[in-house]
Amino acid sequence: MPHRSLNIAPPASGDDAAVTAWLAAEAGRLGPVLTTLRRTLHQRPERGGEEVQTAALVTGVLEGLGLPVRTGIAGHGVVALVEGGRPGPTVALRADMDALGIQDEKRVPYRSQVPDTAHACGHDAHTACSLGAAILLAHLADHLPGRVKLIFQPAEEVIGRGANEMIAAGVMEDPKVEAIFGLHCQPHLHVGQVGVRRGVMMAAGDFFTVEIEGRSGHAARPEEAIDTVLVAAQAVCALHQVVPRAVSIHEPVVLTVGAMHAGISANVIPGRATLAGTVRTLDNDTRLKVREVMEQVLDGTCRTLGARFRLDYLVGAPPVVNDPALTELLAAAAAKVVGPENVVEIEEPSMGGEDFSCYQELAPGSYFRLGTANEDPATHHPLHHACFDIDERALPLGAQILAQAAWDYLRRAA
């Protein structure tokens, strides 16, 4: 495992120009190491709450660097601290570690060896980038005017867990985190490009389940039954038609019913049906309004057709809102790595969700997109695709940007 025997000598000077040049040189040398780490994780993916081997690998790297490490946080979370040689604030770097429940359909030597589980959202790359940043910062420690807390989070893909449980376990305290940075793979950007956005970056993501109760009966006598297939179908149409019309056109809402289940026999009208889906919004007022309208739509539909319903609405992470000043600092740090012409301003927020936002409720933060595509169509698959893959040349760039942002923040705040 990587440790101080990598023969990385710290920069001779702690001035900004010397550190920036040193980070570029040493991050470039880390490319093969980070590729090996990422491929190891890619072949042995673990779903949210099950990251035993992943946490062990992360812990091994961090302990090999001589850092104090806490393990077993919120299940399998890992936190390490790089203590600077001079006093100053604490900045955090956060990476998520969990994989998805999806079959890896790539034809590459490092494809997942675990059935129905794959790193189709790039969390293996996020972990490798943050480990690379840890290696760089550990060797830069004597020059750091403050501390860098390295947060490796489990269960980002599990609503209500991940960040919430890490925060409850105290990862933002002792020492108190005063700023936080994170990244995500972006197959819409090429390697060497970085996407930034000030303000709202990603949506709040909520999950819902609707249980519909009617009355079962014979398919030949529908008048004796309350057909939950019909009720469910009407409810889906009504939700998609009414909810977007009930909120301002200036407030994007994405309501998706992703599952609908009812019945098992062709000649039986089922007495129960279930709907499940997600709601994505960009502010909390709209979020509350959507839930209220959903209740009204379901109530009206079920009353009309004689059925009853229960809506279970699970509130997920709030929107990711990037601090403008930190995003300015992050963009400048990224420009030192990839050049200002390759720092792309993201025009529209993503309607995807990310529990990085939970940390932002306790400290200002900025979350950026790391380009991972090249000319090969194999790197163009979207996130959560069964063939998702990256150009691994992005890994040392991600590590360098994270380390540069941490350095620049501490230098500015010192």
Residues 157, 345: Cα–Cα separation, whole Å: 26
| Element spanning 148, H or E | strand 145-153
Contact by Cβ (8 Å): 154, 51: yes
Burial (Cβ within 10 Å: 0-12, 13-18, ≥19) of residue 42: buried
Could you tell me the sign of the dihedral formed by the alpha carbons of 195, 196, 199, 201, in that order? positive
Contact by Cβ (8 Å): 336, 404: yes
**Residue among 85, 81, 83, 82 at smallest CA distance from 143:** 85
Residues 336, 329: Cα–Cα separation, whole Å: 11
Contact by Cβ (8 Å): 391, 368: no
Q: What is the pLDDT of residue 5?
A: 52
With a cut of 70, which residues of the chain have pLDDT below it?
Answer: 1-5
Q: What is the pLDDT of residues 263-317, one digit of tens each?
A: 999 999 999 999 999 999 999 899 999 999 999 999 999 999 999 999 999 999 9
Residues 400, 403: Cα–Cα separation, whole Å: 5
Active site residues: 98, 156
Angle at 122 between CA 91 and CA 321, to 5 degrees: 45
Domains of the chain: 4-202+319-413 (3.40.630.10), 204-314 (3.30.70.360)
**Residue among 355, 39, 413 at smallest CA distance from 201:** 355
Query: Is pTM beyond 0.75 here?
Result: yes
Q: At what angle do helices 16-29 and 31-43 cross, to 10 degrees?
A: 50
Q: What is the pLDDT of residue 387?
A: 98
The amino acid occupying position 91 is: V
